Structure 1
Amino acid sequence: MTYRLAVAFLLISAGLSAQTKEEVALNNLAISLMDEGNYKEALIHLDKLTAASGNNFVYRYNRAVTLFNLKQYQEAIKEYKFLHELIPDQSEYVFQIGNAYEQIDSVEQATDFYTQAINMDADHFIYFFKRGTILLKQNKLQEAVADFTSSIALNPKHHNSLHNRGITFYKLGQESKACADWCQSFQLGNTYSKSHIDQNCSKIQACVPSK
């Protein structure tokens, strides 16, 4: 969630000119509460801000993040869709719509919005990782491998992409590739990969995790 808040901070300068000092103080208070994980109280302040200045995308973004963390996914989707209409070229909003749909198991809609986000901006590894994970759940294995490979190309140290690609390779019957991915993932700190190595890679000498 730190990454998502950082995006809001990068965007905030564009919205400051429309903010009063009182609004800035209230928004900063809401952000502090969000940082503390106190999303319920943060939402009270953000509701006031959006009621007073409904088109301010900084407030709406922070409100969307807060709603998501409160697991009010349908309301979060509404906020992100509003933001997408307000700023159509911002892929982050489209991605977050997909992320919220994934939480309520709307797989087709999540996949569609992840794809839209990738088409808008293919430089974010997390977009490929999230779509790849959904494709893996749907057993669309070749497509999942392609997405995890794209994610790894953008961020070679993303151990979750390596771990999930390992699972996908294993389902495809490519045990050596699976074990190589799990070993690399484990070396990068993914403890879940260790159980896969222990269960499936004992006969493959190439798969020896670092101690």
Structure 2
Amino acid sequence: MLKNILAVTALVCVASAAHAQVDTVRATTLPPAQLAEKLYNSGVAKYNQKSYRAAILDFDKALAAKPDFAKAYYNRATTRYELKEYQPAVQDYDQAIKLDPNTFGPYFGRGQAREALGQSAEAEQDYSKATELKADYAPSWYYRGALRFEKGNYQEAKADFDQAIKADPAYAYAWHDRGSAQRQLNNLPAAIQDYSKALSLQPELLPALLNRAATKRRAGDLKGAMQDYNDYLSKKQDNALAYTNRGATRFEQGDFKGAVDDFSKAIALRADYAYAWNNRAAAYLKLEDYAKAEADASKAIGLNAQYAEAYLTRGHAREMLRHPDQACQDWRKAAELGLEVGNTYASNSGCGAQ
């Protein structure tokens, strides 16, 4: 019924207009190219307002008016990427590249969409093409470097991060990730310098603080590592790994009670964190609290039955609790799981043949 009423009303309005004497003229239809540009600009404005669905409608109309509008394909693809519609985004980037193969943006965008789809090899190719077309665009180098880092190609990753930093010396993430590549290449002083630079550019980049702490610890600078862990944990108290790593640093410093405290905080945050349970067991061993050490190692094994170090730890605890047979079983299990030192402990303790 509603549709009929609206239809009648519309007809009445048209009829009235036909008999009216007016001085105005009808607006003419815009030429297709001009209409497409107007709709395109409207789509860009809506994209910038994060009204992504509305932006796509405008880009659709722009492309209907001008099917060879490369920029409209590119921006519709970018909008679809924001909506996590990665495969349609790739298809739009394909069209943009077909229409304008010498612009870097569609290659970079398609690389990101392909990476989101798990197509790492194809994404790397797209980032490479983007670097060829615009060598001073730092993100192309950075994202390709990140992909190469994930594949374990640390030297190639470092080279890409070098280029990203050359293109944009204020790119904090590139400094951070180059630090991680340096760390994997065992260039520890250089890694520390890169993490420090990242922090100077972006003080709230907390992963750089955590990674610098781990690198300092690996380099033997336990005091410096502790300072970084303390700074990190003063700002973020919900990271079990940070407490575990600070606990390990305290353990290496001989502060076993402090280590127990940190491992306990890690466990409170993540009750299924097998490494924290075993580490606390090791600290209890140092404090000669063997019953607690056995209980914590057993908990670690319950969480991860293939955790060789936990069997080794529990074996030591059981030895001190005068349970030699159980200790021997644990050491042999550790050896079975790849820790040959388990056989050494079993042999030195006089464990009989199995």
TM-score class, shorter-chain normalisation, is: 0.7 to 0.9
Q: Would the alpha carbon gap of residues 150 and 206 (structure 1) be closer, same or farther in structure 2, given more than 3 Å must change?
A: farther
> What is the CA–CA distance in structure 2 between the aligned matches of 1:155 and 1:18, rounded to whole Å?
40
Paired letter, 1:19:
A
In structure 1, what is the equivalent of residue 212 of structure 2? Answer: 197
> What is the CA–CA distance in structure 2 between the aligned matches of 1:86 and 1:71, rounded to whole Å?
24
* Offset at residue 198 of structure 1 (A): 2.8
Q: Which residues in structure 2 correspond to 1:120-135 (within 5 Å)?
A: 120-135=133-148
Q: Which residues in structure 2 correspond to 1:68-83 (within 5 Å)?
A: 68-83=81-96
Q: Would the alpha carbon gap of residues 206 and 147 (structure 1) be closer, same or farther in structure 2, given more than 3 Å must change?
A: farther
Instruction: Name the SS for the 1:123 alignment partner.
Output: coil
In structure 2, what is the equivalent of residue 96 of structure 1? Answer: 109
TM-score, normalisation: structure 2 = 0.51
Identity over aligned pairs, percent = 24
In structure 2, what is the equivalent of residue 6 of structure 1? Answer: none
Instruction: Name the SS for the 1:19 alignment partner.
Output: helix
Q: Which residues in structure 2 correspond to 1:134-149 (within 5 Å)?
A: 134-149=147-162
Instruction: Name the SS for the 1:201 alignment partner.
Output: helix
> What is the CA–CA distance in structure 1 between the aligned matches of 2:194 and 2:223, rounded to whole Å?
14
* Offset at residue 37 of structure 1 (A): 1.1
> What is the CA–CA distance in structure 1 between the aligned matches of 2:135 and 2:36, rounded to whole Å?
35
Q: Which residues in structure 2 correspond to 1:30-45 (within 5 Å)?
A: 30-45=43-58
In structure 1, what is the equivalent of residue 167 of structure 2? Answer: 154
Contact 2:39 2:61 in 1 (8 A): no
Paired letter, 1:26:
L
Contact 2:157 2:181 in 1 (8 A): yes
Q: Would the alpha carbon gap of residues 18 and 177 (structure 1) be closer, same or farther in structure 2, given more than 3 Å must change?
A: farther
Paired letter, 2:72:
Y
* Offset at residue 114 of structure 1 (A): 1.2
Contact 1:176 1:204 in 2 (8 A): no
Paired letter, 2:209:
K
Instruction: Name the SS for the 1:178 alignment partner.
Output: helix
In structure 2, what is the equivalent of residue 19 of structure 1? Answer: 33
* Offset at residue 206 of structure 1 (A): 9.7
* 1:110 to 2:123 alignment: yes
Comparing both chains, which one has the higher relative contact order based on Cα–Cα distances under 8 Å and sequence gaps of 6 or more? 1
* Offset at residue 138 of structure 1 (A): 0.7
Residues 117-155 of structure 1: per-residue CA shift (max 9 Å, x gap): 222332221111110010011111010011001111111
Contact 1:182 1:194 in 2 (8 A): yes
Q: How many residues align?
A: 193
Q: Would the alpha carbon gap of residues 151 and 206 (structure 1) be closer, same or farther in structure 2, given more than 3 Å must change?
A: farther
> What is the CA–CA distance in structure 2 between the aligned matches of 1:64 and 1:149, rounded to whole Å?
29
Contact 2:36 2:63 in 1 (8 A): no
* Offset at residue 24 of structure 1 (A): 3.9
The structure having more radius of gyration, on CA atoms, is 2
Contact 1:54 1:60 in 2 (8 A): no
Q: Which residues in structure 2 correspond to 1:159-198 (within 5 Å)?
A: 159-189=172-202, 190-198=205-213
Contact 1:180 1:206 in 2 (8 A): no
In structure 1, what is the equivalent of residue 64 of structure 2? Answer: 51
> What is the CA–CA distance in structure 2 between the aligned matches of 1:84 and 1:29, rounded to whole Å?
23
How large is the RMSD of aligned CA atoms in angstroms?
2.4
> What is the CA–CA distance in structure 1 between the aligned matches of 2:132 and 2:223, rounded to whole Å?
40
* Offset at residue 188 of structure 1 (A): 0.4
TM-score, normalisation: structure 1 = 0.82
More displaced 10-residue stretch of structure 1: 198-207 or 51-60: 198-207
